[in-house]
Structures are given as structure tokens and as C-alpha cells.
Structure 1
Amino acid sequence: MRASTRWTLAGLVVIVALVVALWREIGAEDPVGGTGGGLTASASREHRDADTPEALAGPRAEADLPPCPAPSTAPGPPELAGVSVECAADGGRADVGALVAGRNVVLNLWAYWCGPCADELPAMAEYQRRMGPAVTVLTVHQDENETAALLRLAELGVKLPTLQDGRRLVAAALKVPNVMPATVVLRSDGTVAKILPRAFTSADEIAAAVNPAMGVRG
């Protein structure tokens, strides 16, 4: 075999090895399989490995969030049946369908890195203060960095019950468009009244958009 032929074969072997390595790397990033449509590794976790109970203790104390609503046996939205996430206040498990059952609920979907979300959250807190027990505002953090979410809420001074949902299970169950912030309005009879993929800047805006759908005044 001539030297030029040997060099050609050696080059082909290197190219094949590089292609195989690249294929394996791409496959490893898509744990669901398929052609890139599955969850990425970061989106498949509720929170980061670094967000241990010990690591979250300080941020939780700083955020000082109220507990998540007590579960109810009233009929809840069938879309949320069996959806279980974490309550950010204490790390306990939360059955979302049971938490919202029998209540007029405003679900606010957000992430710590979202600028419009940071502008909207204080308006949601003010809206909750005005409405009192007639409506429950429940925020849903949609990123795996739970520490950053708690610190953001502490920074904003927003104290609303919050679910940690890094896998975005709530949004998927309710078919919420992939935008943030987004608001879902749930009636006390367990029906979905509205899905609002938009940002609000004031409590007045929120009330005008959601109260008629729930049949409440305020």
C-alpha cells in the first residue's frame, strides 16, 4: 500500500471518529430521544442539584414566603389533576390541582431572569392585597434555579405563595404559550376562565382583566 493511500485511510478514520463523538454528544443532550424535540437536561429537573434543603434555608428565610394554600377536596381543574411540584416556602410537595380546587385563583407564571416578570410581581402582590380572600394569587417559578427565585422575591419584597416548577409542568398541563410572564385565571368551579400571555403593570390592569372572568368584584 502506498504512503498516500495510508494517509487517506487514516484521515477517513479520524473524520468518522469525530462524527461518532459528535453524534453521541448530541444524543446525550436529548435524554428523551427523538430528533431534538425532547426535554433538555436543564429543563427536566424541578430545581438544580445545588438547591439542596441546606442551601435553600437562607434564601427561604430571606424571602419569608407565605405557605402554599391548603389542599381542598372540592372539584379542581382536570388539567391539573396529578400535577405535583414543590412549594417554595418550605420545600414540601404540592398537588397543584388540590391547591387551587374550590378557589378563584390567579396563576402567575414567571422566571427570575425575566424583566417584565419582575415589574409585574409587585402589581400581583398589590392585587392580592386588594382582593383579600376572594382571590388567591399563586405564582409559579418556571426555572430550575430556585435560589435565584427566592432571592428575586426577597429583593422585590413580594410575599405570595409560590410553586417551584423548573420542569414547567403546570404550563404544559394548561397549554400555556411559551412566554413569560403569563397569567392563568381559574374559577372556583374548577374551570379555566382565561389564559393571558401578557405582562401587567398595575393592580388595576390585573383586576380589569381577570375579575370579570371569575365573577368577582374589587
Structure 2
Amino acid sequence: MSTAARWSVVVLVLAVAGVVALWPRSPGPAEQAAIPTRTRPTADLDDVRARAALPPCPQGSPDAPGPEPLRGVVVTCLGDGRPVDVAATVPGRAVVNFWATWCLPCQEELKVLDAYAREPGAVPVVAVLVESKEADGLELLAKLGVRLPAVADPPDAVRQALRVPRRLPVTYVAGADGSLDLVDEPVVFTSVEQVREVVG
């Protein structure tokens, strides 16, 4: 092979390498985790938050710090956008529900939980949004007419802290002593009566 031919091959290899390096690609899992979930301007997010009209997140006290596995896990309160220690949102007996915007059974269950929470004597219900963007969760809650206190957990820290099963929806019942019991039956609440029976 002549010197000119060798240089031609070298130039061709470098050109191909340059094209490959600059070619658009999908982000890998580590890069996806670093992508922020709040992609809308703050003003737009505030508009969606106003339409959803969610109540503020419950606040615990030194006398009722909430379940121990959740203490120190910081999430975003969907009602006002502020960071909150998730344990403080469960200061006593409560229902904790994990849901995502793409989960159709979650949508029906949220309506059932919202109806239960409006009943006299109901324990508080806190909805934990996972695997979804904050704005999308707010829009869906507004569309469903669900007005539960809710938090967004983009890093999935709450599910990791509790070792929540990798299915949705998932519901826990928190006790006054800070215990958390996974609801295995029913897997999805379809009536207020079922929630009453589980909560006791």
C-alpha cells in the first residue's frame, strides 16, 4: 500500500470517528436520572399548580415526627412547590398512596381515595407521585378533580426507603406509632368501603 493510500485510510477513519462522536444519541440510564423533571418555566408550573388547587402538605411536629424510615427524605409538596420532609406529611394514622400519571388503575384509585378522604372521620391520605413530571401530575389531579395532599418524588427516594414493590399503585397504612403496613388486598381500591375496611 502506498503512502498516499495509507493517508487516505487514516483520513477516512478519522472522519467516521468524528461523525460517530457528534451523532445524536439517547441518554443512558445515568444521564436520564440527572435530567430534571421540572421542564416547564416556573410561571407555567405555578399556573398548573393553581388549577390543581391542592391542599398544603401536612406538617409533623417533634411529638409526631412520622415513620422512621421516611425521616430525612425530602420531596416536593405539589400543593405549593416547597421541599418537605416526607415523614412530616404522615404525622399519625394515614394512608400513603404511590401513583404515576401513566398508570390507569392509579387514576381510578385516586378518585376513590379522594372520596374516602372527604368523609367525616377519615384518616388523612397522602399521594406520592413517582416516575412522572411534576406538571403532568398536577394536570392529571386537576383533570380528575382529586384534591389530596400530594408530593412529588422524582429521585424515587421514598420508594427506596420503604423498599416498595415495583408495581403501581401501591398503598400503605401508617399507624399512630409510626408503623407502615403494605396493603396487599385489595391491590387497587375500587370503592370507599374497601378503604374503610383496610384502614379500620
TM normalised by structure 1 equals 0.76
Check the 8 A contact 1:48/1:144 in 2, yes or no. Answer: no
Residue of structure 1 in register with 2:80 after alignment = 90
Note the 1:91-110 alignment, pairs <5 A: 91-101=81-91, 103-110=92-99
Q: Cα 1:131–1:12, aligned 2, differ >3 Å: closer, same or farther?
A: farther
Distance in 1 of aligned mates of 2:169 and 2:180 = 18
Given candidates 160, 180, 185, the residue that maps to 2:173 is 185
Distance in 2 of aligned mates of 1:8 and 1:75 = 69
Structure 1 position 13, deviation (Å): 5.3
Residue of structure 2 in register with 1:161 after alignment = 149
- Per-residue CA deviation, residues 19-66 of structure 1 (Å, 9 max, x unaligned), is 9849xx68x6344xxxxxxxx52x44663232x431112111111111
Q: Cα 1:99–1:72, aligned 2, differ >3 Å: closer, same or farther?
A: farther
Note the 1:1-218 alignment, pairs <5 A: 1-2=1-2, 17=17, 21=21, 29-31=28-30, 40-41=31-32, 43-44=33-34, 47-50=37-40, 52-73=41-62, 74-101=64-91, 103-130=92-119, 132=121, 134-196=122-184, 198-208=187-197, 210-211=198-199, 216=200
Structure 1 position 183, deviation (Å): 0.9
- Per-residue CA deviation, residues 133-180 of structure 1 (Å, 9 max, x unaligned), is x51100011134211111111111111001011222111111111221
User: Identical aligned pairs, as a percentage?
Assistant: 39
Residue of structure 2 in register with 1:36 after alignment = none
Secondary structure at 2:118's aligned position in 1? helix
Q: Cα 1:45–1:67, aligned 2, differ >3 Å: closer, same or farther?
A: farther
Unaligned runs of 5+ in 2: none
Distance in 2 of aligned mates of 1:5 and 1:206 = 76
Check the 8 A contact 1:146/1:164 in 2, yes or no. Answer: yes
Check the 8 A contact 2:77/2:151 in 1, yes or no. Answer: yes
Distance in 2 of aligned mates of 1:86 and 1:11 = 51
Secondary structure at 1:67's aligned position in 2? coil
Secondary structure at 1:106's aligned position in 2? strand
- Per-residue CA deviation, residues 59-106 of structure 1 (Å, 9 max, x unaligned), is 1111111111122222422210100111111111211112212x1111
Distance in 2 of aligned mates of 1:46 and 1:5 = 47
Distance in 1 of aligned mates of 2:160 and 2:128 = 12
Structure 1 position 130, deviation (Å): 2.7
Secondary structure at 2:54's aligned position in 1? coil
